[in-house]
Amino acid sequence: MTDHAIAVIDIGMTNKKVAVYDESLRLMEAQYRNFTPKMVKDLPCHDLEEMEKWFLDQLKTAAKRFPIKAIAISTHGATFVCVGTDGKPALPCVYYTYEPGEDFHSDFYKRFGDAQELQSRTGTPAFKAMINPAKGLLFAQQQFGDEFKNVTNILPYSQYWGLRFTGKIGVESTYMGNHTYLWDQVDSKLSTVAHELGIAELLSDKLYKSWDVLGTLNEETAAKTGLPKETIVTMGIHDSNSALLPHFAKKGERGFVLISTGTWCVIMNPVESYGFSPDELGKVVFFNISAFGTPIKTAIFLGGLEFETWSSIILKKHGRKDFPGWNEEVYRSVLKEKKIFLLPELTPGSGQFPSSRARIVEDGKDYFFDDIEDSCSEGTMPPCFADFDKSFAVLRISLVMQTLTALERTGIKDGFDIYTEGGFRRDEAYNILIASAFPKNNVYLTDINEATALGAAMTAKMALNGISLKDLAGDLVVGYYKQEKRSLPDLESYRTAWLAHTSMA
């Protein structure tokens, strides 16, 4: 029996989990659940009430089996919750994936300033939908004006859950610095956008560390879970930044780039200083703020979504459920011929190529995704999709092309290690291609299965024991497996041809 345990509430956009770690940071159990959106005024919203009930139930069950002494919370980005005097949501929390329309985005920048100037000050690029939380808060003001009058605090998602469990309010750095438009990263204060939205008084401008203690359980949470009121709750952490913590502990604060893969592929480079070059402004590159308060140059794209969506079409066409592995002959052929290209973006404006329209280009002919999705007739399907191995090769090469651009935009340097984590670490072809594209860098696949939850558990152990992140290095057992390279001389010329097709609006 472990002397003490740590519970982690890890909230992804799709999957929610409650995990329990022992004092050596070994995962002992995890429970998972998805929640369908709660529709309000035809808007998809987070079902916060049902999520809370489930979290409390899982903590109650875990408390009977493990001596839980601390709770840490990790959540996906781009979500803030507006609360009232009772500590409960004062209005619905709309999904950040909701697209309010082009007029909304245009009006936002007319009101709050030039997109590139805002990017320069806040480290935030212009995203579509409401991936910029300031846009989500403006939308909330417009849609729920009466309810907004009752808002007393606006909390980052992680700290909202901390409030529910402790009754205490606090804000930490990784979430405020998460492409929000709300934090001025040049002057380390609330941004002009926060002030002009009229919400500066509702936001905290004091940022804590992720391992600081927010508080202990309030009476209601203690009663519903059976946990002692002395159970501490840490400040919480943004999920991508949480995934960096094991590598910070094992490898140091710089000299590597992490490719964290899931629905979103998030490429993160811990850098020495904040700042954009002129040619980076207007691109989908931005700065997160690490758990140490230091800059993390970041680029993202919806790689997991693209793989899942395109592969489902290919699998359906062939009546299969398996995925082909690395077939060197097929990949060499596609790269050498330069006749077939799969282009992003399925969600326009979400990744590195906002001017690109999702399609296959084969022998100079466009096969647009919308047409392929709507009809499986031979006239709309690209001929390459008749070849199972080739179609997956084209798809994986496309994901690699997007990753290479993201790596370059984060400022990767010769000699930096590259770590692949998440779902794509099991994709041999993807990693062979990445490794082969960087002859002066080593690529490693990690064996961390729940990087976000593990990082959050680390913050709780730091809080419990009053120790630093480096003190945890001995507790962590992380495998780094070097990816072999291939000589693929046509990879660079294929990329040049692929890039030429991404400028189509």
| DSSP secondary structure letters along 362-381 | ETTEEEEHHHHHH--STTTS
Name the residue type at position 27.
L
Residue 128 CA to its chain's centroid (Å): 15
Query: Residue 49 is encoded by which pair of tokens?
Result: 């009430």
The alpha-helical segments, DSSP class H, found in 466-490 are none
Q: Are 122 and 193 in contact (CB under 8 A)?
A: yes
* Residue 151 to residue 463: CA distance in whole angstroms: 31
332: left (phi over 0), alpha (psi -120 to 50) or beta: alpha
- pTM for the full model? 0.92
Distance from C-alpha of 453 to C-alpha of 449, rounded to nearest angstrom: 9
Report yes or no: 9 and 48 within 8 Å, Cβ to Cβ. Answer: no
Q: Where are the beta strands (DSSP E) in 23-117?
A: 27-34, 38-40, 43-45, 68-75, 80-83
Report the relative pairing of strands 15-22 and 359-362 from DSSP bridges: unpaired
Locate 290 and state its tokens: 């690490």
Look up residue 485 and give its two tokens.
């390279």
- Strands 5-11, 15-22: pairing kind: antiparallel
**Could you tell me the CA-to-CA distances from 164 to 52, 155, 167, 361 in Å, in that order?**
9, 11, 6, 51
Amino acid at 496: T
Give the dihedral of Cα atoms 304, 305, 307, 309; nearest 10 deg: 160
Q: How far apart are CA 341 and CA 297, in angstroms?
A: 28
> Distance between CA atoms of 60 and 150, rounded to whole angstroms?
32
Task: Identify the pLDDT of residue 505.
Answer: 40
pLDDT of residue 504: 52
pLDDT for the residue 220: 97
β-strand partners of 9? 18, 73
Give Cβ neighbours of residue 384 (< 8 Å, ≥ 6 apart). Answer: 340, 360, 362, 390, 391, 394
Integer CA distances (angstroms), 134 to 172, 267, 282, in order: 17, 23, 18
Kindly tell me the sign of the dihedral angle through the C-alpha atoms of 373, 378, 380, 385: positive
Structure confidence at residue 376 (pLDDT): 57
Report whether 450 contacts 18 (CB < 8 A).
Answer: no
Q: Domains for the chain: give ranges and CATH numbers.
A: 5-235 (3.30.420.40), 241-302+410-482 (3.30.420.40), 305-404+488-500 (no CATH)
Q: Are strands 5-11 and 68-75 parallel, antiparallel or unpaired?
A: parallel
Regions of the chain with pLDDT less than 50: 505
Per-residue pLDDT, 379: 62
The closest alpha carbon to 326, from 245, 401, 393, 244, belongs to 393
